[in-house]
Structure 1
Amino acid sequence: MKAAIYRWKVAPGDEEYFARRWHEITDDIMRDHGGGGSRLHRAENGDFVAYARWPSKEARDKAFADYSKDPSRTIPQREGKAELVEEIWLDITDDLLIPEADLPDRFR
């Protein structure tokens, strides 16, 4: 299994739009294109950072290509509302991240 870390700079005023579209695109990719889910974070400097799981880099490349074939789909980068500034690929060697539903009350 692979993981990717993505970092975007989002145009001022487009943060809410970016977060909503990230959620919708991630749902679509999980449902229709084999993605393993993702988490979106906001960094101290205002950048958005996501961590996503994939079966392979090739599966991600195919999912993104298939998703992007439809020109009617709005993608923040394609609209000039965000810029992907970093992508880091990782091999998952161990996983101790607690699923959201199983987190202790101190996290709520």
Structure 2
Amino acid sequence: MYVVMYAFRVKPNQEDSFIEAWKGLTSLIYKHEGSLGSRLHKKDDLKYLAYAQWPNQSTFDKAGANLPEEANRYREIMKSACEKVEVLEKLEVVEDLLK
């Protein structure tokens, strides 16, 4: 399994828009690109962390070409709702004891 970790700094009063767009985009990536899903965590008032799980790095690297046009709308909402988006880490899972 392969994991990508993200950090989002959301603009004030944009949290709901960001979360809804994140959920919409994540659902499309799961449905169309073969991801194993993602979790979103709130660190503080305007900072969120997420990690997306993939079956392997190759599936992650190839992702993007199969998304419907609707994905662009979610990306734009997220982009306008955030002050900063960054990829923190890309990691290969060695052992998985999460249940």
State the TM bucket, normalised to the shorter chain.
0.7 to 0.9
- Counterpart secondary structure, 2:64: helix
Determine the C-alpha separation between the residues in 2 that align with 1:95 and 1:11: 34
* Higher fraction of strand: 2
Greater RCO structure (CA 8 Å; 6+ sep):
2
Q: Which residue of 1 aligns with 2:17?
A: 17
Contact kept, 8 Å, 1:5 with 1:88, in 2: the verdict is yes
Encode CA deviations 1:40-95: one digit per residue, 9 max, x unaligned. Answer: 0000363111111112334224323543x738523112xx3222133301110111
Aligned: 1:88 with 2:81: no
Encode CA deviations 1:24-55: one digit per residue, 9 max, x unaligned. Answer: 11111111111111110000363111111112
Q: Which residue of 1 aligns with 2:27?
A: 27
In structure 1, the gaps of 5 or more residues are 99-108
Determine the C-alpha separation between the residues in 2 that align with 1:61 and 1:90: 13
Give the alignment's Cα RMSD to 1 decimal.
2.1
Q: What is the TM-score with the length of structure 2 in the denominator?
A: 0.80
Deviation >3 Å, runs of 4+: 64-67, 69-72
- Counterpart secondary structure, 1:42: strand
Q: In structure 2, do the counterparts of structure 1 residues 28 and 16 end up closer, same or farther at CA, with 3 Å as the change threshold? A: same
Contact kept, 8 Å, 1:34 with 1:59, in 2: the verdict is yes
Q: In structure 2, do the counterparts of structure 1 residues 64 and 8 end up closer, same or farther at CA, with 3 Å as the change threshold? A: farther
Q: What is the TM-score with the length of structure 1 in the denominator?
A: 0.74
Give the counterpart letter for 1:91 in structure 2: E
- Counterpart secondary structure, 2:85: strand
Compare CA radii of gyration and give the structure with the larger one: 1
